[in-house]
Structure 1
Amino acid sequence: MTQLLEKPPAPAAAPSPAELAARHGLAVSGARVPLGTYVRRLWRRRHFVTAFATARLTAQYSQAKLGQLWQVMTPLLNAAVYYFVFGVLMNTKHDVPDYVPFLVTGVFVFTFTQQSALAGTRAVSGNLGLVRALHFPRAALPLSYCAQQLQQLLFSLVALLAILLCFGVPPTASWLLVPPALALQFTFNAGLALALARLGARTPDVAQLMPFVLRTWMYASGVMWSIDKVLADRNLPHAVTVLLEANPAAVYIDLMRFALIDSFHASQLPAHVWAWAVGWALLAGVGGFIFFWKAEDTYGRG
């Protein structure tokens, strides 16, 4: 009778989903891995980055009759408009030797940074289908967009060198400075694109705001006018002078002008220009990459 009154033992509690996942070696899909592992995975997908960039560049003007010629014609037409408005109407070409090469170099170099930033804001938000369907380091997307813009710039440089020769600017040994200057600018652009990709993925309104920010940045970067001449002719506050000279877009534009244009002398460069170029590249490149990686597990969710 006593045995009949005793309660049966309670059944064992079922393991939680987390315990089952740990028992069978399962992990969260898209979870953020350590930084070193992330870099190695991204390096293994470097061929995807270059192939994706080339495919986008090829498809960009596939529907246009002039095709890939627009890669060169677009920045040249922009330069022609800026020459008429700023060089002719506003006479900013006054006291600027070789103004056409000066202007075209500024337009091409700034366009590289401008388009990298614009593409970066939509790198994740514009590829949600790819992000949600496949597992890969999401940093590959903004980096591929920057690689696409670098290829675009290399096509434009062919036209730029032809313009330099047509306007009597001779080839010099300083042209060898172009590759390191471009490498530093690409690193800066990549970091900027990565940071903006995270912001754009979280807040789509960033993509709507960026054209206004970039247009203002262009006017402050000496694309159409000489920062050196403005600083020499006006007694500006020291803080304004430092901001204009340390502006990363202006730094890379000045380096390219110094490398390519014989009449653009070292005296027109801001002090410690190469230190500024390296510093901006490291700050944006490393900082932007880490900033993007920290939100790796949030992209494509929600």
Structure 2
Amino acid sequence: MSETTHDGGVAVSPRPSPDEGLMAPQLAAKYGLTVSGARPGLVDYVRQLWGRRHFILAFSQAKLTAQYSQAKLGQLWQVATPLLNAAVYFFIFGVILKASRGMSRDVYIPFLVTGVFVFTFTQSSIMAGVRAISGNLGLVRALHFPRASLPISFALQQLQQLLFSMTVLFLIVIGFGSYPSLSWLLILPVLLLQFLFNTGLALIVARMGAKTPDLAQLMPFILRTWMYTSGVMFSISKMMEGRSEVFVRLLQVNPAAIYMDLMRFALIDGYGSSNLPPHVWAIATFWAVVLFAGGFVYFWQAEERYGRG
């Protein structure tokens, strides 16, 4: 198009833009633009996490190494801490309160130490998870990566710590007369199921802690209450004799109690199947799958909000 100017010249009018009249979302769709930091689809998110698997492993190992780097005994505290806790619980519950009801000392001491080690695995995973985002905001804001990498790596760190300290647990169990047998092979599926359960919980509290950092201060009280109702220091079936069977079963299907009792059943000769609730493996698998899948989706739904505000 052209038109005559006031001095007799000819001016050429610009052609209308092909994008004229398009709204911002339409323009973005036309040119393949996406929102910076937008949440990817669930399948793409899983694919991105798999691509960061080496980072997740390296990050967990670095955190494990640095955890006790300032202490003179270094990583020996990974073993010393749960052992000292077990010694305190044995004195209070085993000697003073006689919580070893129905068990000989050769069974009760491995029973107690196993419970402390296994519950500490879950407890530490949750405490690390609740600070996974809020305690690493610099990393979250500086780099682009799937944020689930952080709580997963912290749960993996706690698994590595448990595997390191289980050498001492094996020595204690053997020292009290429970020698390696085929039942010890059950340790592997128990640890796998508990790791999935712990990771799911770490993902849940990581999202909650990212929004409410004060949750980290409240969590020790919640975990302590959970520990006292999970049979760490006493056998639920023996301590609750005479109580309502429904009440006893509810305590026994508590996931913390499930994984402790399965580990005790695998390791301790005097801890038989009569101490386990019916369908124990199905219940353990249910807790692991539901918490891991639910926790993963729950965390992913807030992916684009981590590190903002």
State the TM-score, normalizing by the size of structure 2: 0.90
| Equivalences for residues 221-232 of structure 1 within 5 A | 221-231=230-240
User: What pairs up with 1:172-183 in 2 under 5 angstroms?
Assistant: 172-183=181-192
Matched, 1:105 2:114: yes
The answer for the alignment partner of 2:44 in structure 1 is: 37
One-letter identity of the residue aligned with 2:100: K
1:286 maps to what in 2? Answer: 293
**Whole-Å Cα distance in 2 between the matches of residues 215 and 155 of structure 1?**
24
Equivalent positions of 1:114-133 (< 5 A) are 114-133=123-142
Give per-residue Cα distances to partners, 1:48-84, cap 9 Å, x unaligned.
1111000000011111111111111111111111111
Deviates more, 1:164-173 or 1:49-58: 164-173
* Residue type of the alignment partner of 2:199: A
Q: Deviations over 1:126-156 (max 9, x none)?
A: 1111111111110000000000000010011
Deviation at 1:21, TM superposition (A): 4.5
- SS in structure 1 opposite 2:120? helix
In structure 1, the gaps of 5 or more residues are: none
Residue of structure 2 in register with 1:236 after alignment? 244
Aligned residue runs from structure 1 range 137-156, under 5 A = 137-156=146-165
The structure-2 alpha-carbon separation of the partners of 1:59 and 1:299, relative to structure 1 and needing over 3 Å to count, comes to same
C-alpha distance in 2, partners of 1:179/1:84?
31
Partner of 2:160, secondary structure, is helix
Distance, in Å, in 1 between the alignment partners of 2:279 and 2:24 is 58
- Provide the rounded CA distance (Å) in 1 between the counterparts of 2:218 and 2:36: 32
Equivalent-residue separation in structure 2 for 1:284 and 1:265 (angstroms)? 28
Quote the residue 2:9 is aligned against: none
**Larger Cα-atom Rg:** 2
> In the alignment, does 2:257 pair up with 1:250?
yes
CA distance in 2, matches of 1:78, 1:220: 17
Matches within 5 A, 1:1-302: 21-97=28-104, 98-231=107-240, 233-236=241-244, 238=246, 240-302=247-309
Structure 2 CA distance for aligned equivalents of residues 31 and 99 of structure 1: 53
| Letter matched to residue 185 of structure 1 | Q
Letter in 2 for 1:120: G
What amino acid is aligned across from residue 114 of structure 1 in structure 2?
Q
Tell me by how many angstroms 1:261 deviates. 0.4
Shift of 1:30: 1.7
State the AA in 2 paired with 1:216: T
Deviation string for 1:74-104 (max 9, x for gaps)?
A: 1111111111111111111232231110000
Q: Deviations over 1:185-221 (max 9, x none)?
A: 0000000100111111111121111110000000000
Partners of 1:131 and 1:174 in 2: how far apart?
43
How far off its partner does 1:40 sit? 0.6
Q: Which runs of 5+ in 2 are unaligned?
A: 7-12
User: What SS does the aligned partner of 1:234 have?
Assistant: coil
* 1: CA distance, partners of 2:36 / 2:202: 25
Structure 1 residue identity aligned to 2:121: F
Q: Secondary structure at 2:103's aligned position in 1?
A: coil
Cα distance between partner residues in 1 of 2:96 and 2:218? 29
* Counterpart AA for 2:242: R
In structure 1, how many angstroms separate the alpha carbons of the residues matched to 2:87 and 2:236? 20
Q: Percent of pairs identical after alignment?
A: 63
Aligned residues between the structures:
295
Residue type of the partner of 1:159? V
- 1:174-194 per-position Cα deviation (integer Å, ceiling 9, x unaligned): 000000000000000000100
